[in-house]
Structure 1
Amino acid sequence: MAVKGAVHQEPAYVLHRRPYRETSLLVDLFTLGAGRISVMARGGNAPRSPLKAQLQPFQPLLLDWQGRGDLKTLTQTEVRPGPALRHTDSLYSGLYVNELLQRILPPGDPHPELFAAYIETVNALADTEDVEPVLRRFEGNLAEAMGLGFDWLLTTDTGQEVEAGSFYGYDPEQGIVSSAATGIRLTGLPGAVLAELARGNLDSRECRRVAKRVMRTLTDHLLQGRPLNSRSLFSHGRGDHHES
C-alpha cells in the first residue's frame, strides 16, 4: 500500500547536515522535484551508519522519503557517480553555492532549471581551478530563478542600450540603470565592461571586478541580512578574490 506523502527515487544534493537528537542527522537538501527541503536521517549519525559517507555535499543522490510536514523522514539512499571537488578553491566555492541555496531558496519551491545549473556548476568546479567565472554564472542563474534576472546591455529606466563611453548603475530590483537614476545601490559601472559581460567575457580583471561588485550587491539583497559563513573561508584562504 502506498504511503501518503512518500517520494521515491528523487534526484537530490546535500546542502548541509548537522547532528539531530542522539544518533540522527538533520539534512538540508536541494531536490529536483521538491526544491529545498529538510529530512531526518534516522540513525545517520550513529558510529557505523553508512549514511555518514553517503550524505555528503556535491554527491549526486537518489532519495526516498516520507512525511507531510516540514521535516520529512529519509527512508532510502542511493549514491550515484559524481565528480570530486579536490582543489581548495573549488571546495570553498561549492560550499558558498550550497549556502546561497540554503539561505535564499524558499522551502518546497521547485526550480528544475536552477537544479540543472547546480549540477553544471558542481561539474565545472571539479574540473577547474579558475572558479570565478563558474560562480558568476551560477549567481546569474540564481538571480533568474528568484525573478531578478537582468540584461547587462539594457538600462531599465530609459530602455536604451548601454554605450561604451558612459557609466551606469545597478539595483537588484531594477537591473542596469542610467547614471541619472536615483536611489540605486551601485554606481560607476563602465558601459564598455557591461558590453563585455553581456557577451559572457570574464577574462579581464576589470570584467571580473565589475561582475563581482554587481553579483555581491545582488546576493546581499537576496540574503536580506542573513550571513554567509562560507565567506570567511575565502577571507582566510587562497580564494579571497573569488567569492561574491
Structure 2
Amino acid sequence: MAAAKRIADEPAFVLHSYDWSESSLILEVFCRRQGRVALVAKGAKKPSSNFRPVLLPLQPLLLTYTLAGDGTADIHTLKGAEWVGGHVMPTGDALLSGLYLNELLLRLLARADAHTALFDAYAGVVRVLASEHGDALEPVLRSFELLLLREIGLLPSLDVQTMTLEPLKADARYTLVAEGGLRMASAADRAALPGRQWIALQRALDDDAASYTATLRACAPVAAELKPQLRTVLQYHCGSPMLRTRQLMIDLQAL
C-alpha cells in the first residue's frame, strides 16, 4: 500500500476553524503553494494538544499534512503546525479587519488553487495589522481588496471604461460598480475618482516587481473614496448573505 503523500513545512494562515468532534477541529487554511485547503486537526481541542496554542488566525505558520486518498479529497489530515513568530495577534479594529479579509478569502477563493502573490500580499497586510499601523489601516485594506479582485479575475481594467473600452479622461470622474465595471460617474454617484487616479491604480497593479507596495501607495490618497465602491463590488461577488464581519462592523458603529 502506497504511503500517503505529505505536504511539509507549508507557509500558511488559519482562516477559520470549527468543531469536528468533541476533541478535533476542521481548519480552513490559506497556504502559499497549495491555496485554500481544509484540514482536520485531530485532538486539537484537548488541553494537552500541541496544536491548541498554535492554530490561531492571523498568525504565520508552517504546516505539515498528509493528503487523503489520491489527493483529490476535500479534507486532509494535519500532522504538524509550527508558529513562525514575528508579530503578536492584532487587536481592536485591526483584528476585525483581519477577520474580514479571512472571510473574503473563504468566500472567494476556490480550494486547491494556488495564489502565491496574493498570499505574500496577505502576509504583508497581517504584519501591518499587528503593528502600530496608524493611518495605514485603510490603504492596506483597499490595496488587498484590489489585489484579491484582480487575482481572481473579477477586477476590470481601471484605465478604460468597461462597457465601451474608451480611455479614461484625466479630469473626468468615474465610478466602479458591481454589474457594469468602471463607468462615467453621474450626479447620483456619491463615490467616484478622477480618471488620473484610476489610471495610477492600474499602473500600480501592473507593477510585477512590487505590485503590493505600489498599489498600497496608490491607494493611500484615495482610500476613503475607494472603500464604498470596493465593498459593494466584493459583496456582489460574495453573494448573500452579507459578510458576517461586515455586519458586525455595522452593528458596532450603531452602538
TM-score (norm: length of structure 1)? 0.83
Letter in 2 for 1:143: L
Letter in 2 for 1:219: L
Q: Map 1:25-36; keep pairs closer than 5 Å.
A: 25-36=25-36
Greater shift, 76-85 or 8-17, is seen at 76-85
Q: For residue 8 of structure 2, what is the aligned residue in structure 1?
A: 8
Structure 1: tracts of 5 or more residues without a match: 181-185
Cα drift, residue 84 of structure 1: 2.0
Cα drift, residue 190 of structure 1: 4.0
Give distance in 2, aligned partners of 1:162 and 1:188: 19
Mapped contact 1:148–1:173 kept (Cα < 8 A): no
- Confirm whether residue 202 of structure 1 aligns to residue 220 of structure 2: yes
Residues 201 and 57 from structure 1, CA distance in 2 versus in 1: closer, same or farther, beyond 3 angstroms? closer
**Which secondary structure state, in structure 1, belongs to the residue aligned with residue 167 of structure 2?**
coil
- Confirm whether residue 222 of structure 1 aligns to residue 217 of structure 2: no
Mapped contact 1:16–1:57 kept (Cα < 8 A): yes
Give distance in 1, aligned partners of 2:48 and 2:63: 20
Residues 171 and 111 from structure 1, CA distance in 2 versus in 1: closer, same or farther, beyond 3 angstroms? same
Residues 225 and 16 from structure 1, CA distance in 2 versus in 1: closer, same or farther, beyond 3 angstroms? same
Q: Map 1:105-144; keep pairs closer than 5 Å.
A: 105-127=109-131, 128-130=133-135, 131-144=137-150
Q: Which residue among 76, 83, 96 is the counterpart of 1:79?
A: 83
Residues 125 and 78 from structure 1, CA distance in 2 versus in 1: closer, same or farther, beyond 3 angstroms? same
Letter in 2 for 1:3: A
Q: Map 1:1-244; keep pairs closer than 5 Å.
A: 3-66=3-66, 67=68, 68=71, 69-127=73-131, 128-130=133-135, 131-163=137-169, 165-172=171-178, 175-178=181-184, 187=189, 189-192=191-194, 194-196=195-197, 198-199=199-200, 200-203=218-221, 207-237=222-252
Letter in 2 for 1:202: A
Give distance in 2, aligned partners of 1:62 and 1:29: 11
Give distance in 1, aligned partners of 2:193 and 2:54: 47
Alignment: residue pair count: 230
Structure 2: tracts of 5 or more residues without a match: 201-217
Structure 1 stretches of at least 4 aligned residues deviating more than 6 Å after TM superposition: none
Give distance in 1, aligned partners of 2:97 and 2:124: 13
Give distance in 1, aligned partners of 2:138 and 2:193: 21
**Which secondary structure state, in structure 2, belongs to the residue aligned with residue 135 of structure 1?**
helix
Residues 2 and 54 from structure 1, CA distance in 2 versus in 1: closer, same or farther, beyond 3 angstroms? farther
Greater shift, 52-61 or 155-164, is seen at 155-164
Letter in 1 for 2:163: D
CA RMSD of aligned residues (A): 2.5
Give distance in 2, aligned partners of 1:54 and 1:18: 15
Give distance in 1, aligned partners of 2:190 and 2:164: 17
Give distance in 1, aligned partners of 2:49 and 2:171: 61
**Which secondary structure state, in structure 2, belongs to the residue aligned with residue 235 of structure 1?**
helix
Residues 91 and 170 from structure 1, CA distance in 2 versus in 1: closer, same or farther, beyond 3 angstroms? same
**Which secondary structure state, in structure 2, belongs to the residue aligned with residue 27 of structure 1?**
strand
TM-score (norm: length of structure 2)? 0.80
Residues 63 and 152 from structure 1, CA distance in 2 versus in 1: closer, same or farther, beyond 3 angstroms? same
Give distance in 2, aligned partners of 1:2 and 1:129: 53
Mapped contact 1:152–1:195 kept (Cα < 8 A): no
Give distance in 2, aligned partners of 1:221 and 1:201: 21
Residues 173 and 145 from structure 1, CA distance in 2 versus in 1: closer, same or farther, beyond 3 angstroms? farther
Give distance in 1, aligned partners of 2:172 and 2:152: 29
Letter in 2 for 1:123: R
Give distance in 2, aligned partners of 1:191 and 1:164: 10
